Structure 1
Amino acid sequence: MRLHTTTWGSGDRIALLVHGLMADHRTWRRVGPALAERGYRVVAVDLRGHGASPRAAGPEAYRPEDHVEDLVETLPAGAELALGHSLGGLVLAGALDRLAPARAVFSDPAWHLGGYRADLFVRGKTMTRAQIKGFNPHWPDEDVETEMASVRDWDERSAHGLTGCMGADLWPSRASVPSLVTLADPSLLVSPAAARMLEGRGFTVRTVAKAGHTIHRDDFDGFMSALDDWI
């Protein structure tokens, strides 16, 4: 499936951005322009069922492997940088060998889904502004508004596409390109033991102090600082 993309900047270097479940390219409203200022042409996708991208026929067509094929079909190979958040980190890892970026960043990636419940995400479709702000007290108001818009545009059937991953070993076996993992503090997806395991597999791991799961919205400056020598 060919995905909708949004671009910032016109630099010679290319950066690819892949959002998480329920979000779309709007989650990168500050990251995209910041990378463009550093000389990148930044390309952000809307995953299938999100934002302006097409919808799949049913929940069974929202598996991680479906998202992986979409990335490979849509995004250019050989980018300077590829960055994926949460679900975006999971599917970016699956596409990495074919996209072959020079460097990769995985932000609080969804490589462990032991307690995943699709119904909890589906309920998010009806969240009010006050509820979103309550769950994300550090978000600027504009991020709360863009989250509401993204959730309205989201096909909630896509939440069921991850159900088959529960209990599966989703951890990358190695860092096939120089790879940074940025973690929330604490991360609900990557435990301290898992972080040590990733370091043993060649990943650089950095925690952004006191940041929640969506690090780039919770602490934009802290997130960008964690990326300094990678971008």
Structure 2
Amino acid sequence: MRLATRTWGDGPRTALLVHGVMTDHRTWRRVGPALAARGHRVIAVDLRGHGASPAATGDQGHHPEELARDLVDTLPRGADLALGHSLGALVLLHAADRLAPARAVYSEPAWLDLPRDLDALRAARHTDRAGLRALHPRWQEADLDDELDALARWDPRSADALRACPGLPPPPGRPSLVQLAGPSLRIGPDAAAVLRRRGYTVRTVPDTGHTVHRDDLAGFLASLDDWTAPPAPPATAR
């Protein structure tokens, strides 16, 4: 399935952004321009059943591998950076070898099979503005506007993707950063230690909730400083 996309900037490097469940590309409203200012052409998708992308039909489903194929069908191979949040990090994990970004960032990844009430998650589609504000006191008003509209467009069946969390992944095939909220309810200290032993860089953005980039944009970007900088030029032979 070809997905709807939003692009910011026209820099020489490419960054790919993959959102989490219930929302759409607008979750990156401030991240996209910030990465564009760092020299990237930034491409953000709407996953199937989210935003302007089609919902699943017929024998299509919402397994992470199916969502990953959508990314491969839509996004360029060999980007400088690919970044996924929550469900987006789960989908990006499935697509990373085929998309082959130089670097990958997994923000608050939905990798562990944690207890989840998917019916309650689907019911979040009916959350009102007051409810969103109570859940996300640090979000800007424009974030609430975007999220309310995204919820109205969201196909709640897409929550089924969270039934197939793979557990902690094997060593990565490229430099990979796991970015966590502080504290994280998705990846605890023991799991973070395992990821470090497997070769992942793990960083925490303190005093943030699950949607780190909306809670603390400055902290989110600071944790990516060395991951979004241009590659160092090759050493000159003397």
Place the TM-score, normalised by the shorter chain, in its bin: over 0.9
Any idea what the Cα deviations from partners look like across 1:8-49, whole Å, max 9, x if unmatched? Answer: 001111100000000100000000000111110000000000
Question: 1:208 aligns to what SS in structure 2?
Answer: strand
Matched residue type, 2:205: V
Distance 2:30 2:120 in 1: 28
Partner of 2:220: 223
Matched residue type, 1:203: Y
Q: For residue 114 of structure 1, report the CA deviation from its aligned partner.
A: 2.2
Partner of 2:32: 32
Question: 2:206 aligns to what SS in structure 1?
Answer: coil
Q: For residue 118 of structure 1, report the CA deviation from its aligned partner.
A: 1.2
Q: For residue 158 of structure 1, report the CA deviation from its aligned partner.
A: 1.1
Q: How many residues align?
A: 228
Partner of 2:21: 21
Any idea what the Cα deviations from partners look like across 1:60-119, whole Å, max 9, x if unmatched? Answer: 701111101101111100000000000000110111111010111110000013212211
Q: For residue 215 of structure 1, report the CA deviation from its aligned partner.
A: 0.1
Distance 2:71 2:167 in 1: 18
Q: For residue 169 of structure 1, report the CA deviation from its aligned partner.
A: 3.7
Given the superposition, is the C-alpha separation of residues 115 and 59 from structure 1 closer, same or farther in structure 2, using an over 3 Å criterion?
farther
Kept after mapping to 2: 8 A contact 1:59/1:160: no
Q: Which has the larger radius of gyration?
A: 2
Question: 1:184 aligns to what SS in structure 2?
Answer: strand
Question: 1:49 aligns to what SS in structure 2?
Answer: coil
Report which stretch shifted further, 180-189 or 112-121. Answer: 112-121
Distance 1:115 1:191 in 2: 14
Matched residue type, 1:228: D
Distance 1:58 1:23 in 2: 23
Distance 2:166 2:63 in 1: 15
Runs (5+) with no aligned partner, structure 2:
229-238
Alignment identity in percent?
Answer: 56
TM-score, L = length of structure 1? 0.96
Question: 1:79 aligns to what SS in structure 2?
Answer: coil
Kept after mapping to 1: 8 A contact 2:113/2:166: no
Partner of 1:62: 62
Question: 1:23 aligns to what SS in structure 2?
Answer: coil
Indicate the RMSD between aligned Cα atoms, in angstroms: 1.2
Distance 1:45 1:59 in 2: 22
1:207 aligns with 2:207: no
Runs (5+) with no aligned partner, structure 1:
none
Question: 2:16 aligns to what SS in structure 1?
Answer: strand
Matches within 5 A, 1:58-207: 61-163=61-163, 165=164, 169-207=166-204
Runs of 4+ in 1 over 6 A off after TM superposition: none
Q: For residue 121 of structure 1, report the CA deviation from its aligned partner.
A: 1.1
Distance 1:114 1:61 in 2: 21
Question: 1:61 aligns to what SS in structure 2?
Answer: coil
Matched residue type, 2:10: S
